[in-house]
């Protein structure tokens, strides 16, 4: 599975192999640039496509017969956290 951790491990190993090969064969610096661009493209894909589960398992939908909704927010915690939780508790219904 393509994850952030696996991507970093694979590209680090490839970079180490290239450094080792460079010692004997004097490889072009463009190979390192190509490796960096490839790594950046995969990281961008993982950041852009949330359903890829690149950083952690994400639940985007669920099969249920109930009418339910999940609400998430990235609040901190901050000075407003208790107010947000109070309003959500009042509106539970």
List, for residues 44-60, the tens digit of each pLDDT value. Answer: 999 999 888 999 888 77
pLDDT < 50 stretches in the chain: 93
Q: Where are the domains of the chain?
A: 4-90
Phi-psi domain of 35 (left: phi exceeds 0; alpha: psi -120 through 50; beta: other):
alpha
In this predicted structure, what is the pLDDT of residue 40?
A: 97
The torsion of the CA quartet 21, 23, 27, 31, rounded to 10 degrees, works out to 60
In this predicted structure, what is the pLDDT of residue 11?
A: 97
In this predicted structure, what is the pLDDT of residue 20?
A: 95
In this predicted structure, what is the pLDDT of residue 36?
A: 97
The verdict on pTM exceeding 0.85 is no
Evaluate whether 44 touches 50 at the Cβ level (below 8 Å): no
In this predicted structure, what is the pLDDT of residue 75?
A: 65
């Amino acid at each position: 599975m393509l994850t952030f951790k696996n991507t970093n491990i694979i590209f680090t190993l490839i970079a180490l192999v290239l450094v080792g090969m460079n010692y004997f064969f004097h490889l072009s610096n463009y190979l390192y640039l190509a490796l960096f661009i490839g790594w950046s493209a995969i990281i961008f894909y993982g950041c852009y496509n949330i359903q890829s589960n690149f950083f952690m398992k994400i639940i985007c939908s669920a099969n249920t017969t109930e009418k339910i909704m999940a609400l998430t927010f990235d609040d901190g915690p901050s000075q407003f956290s208790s107010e947000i939780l109070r309003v959500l508790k009042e509106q539970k219904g």
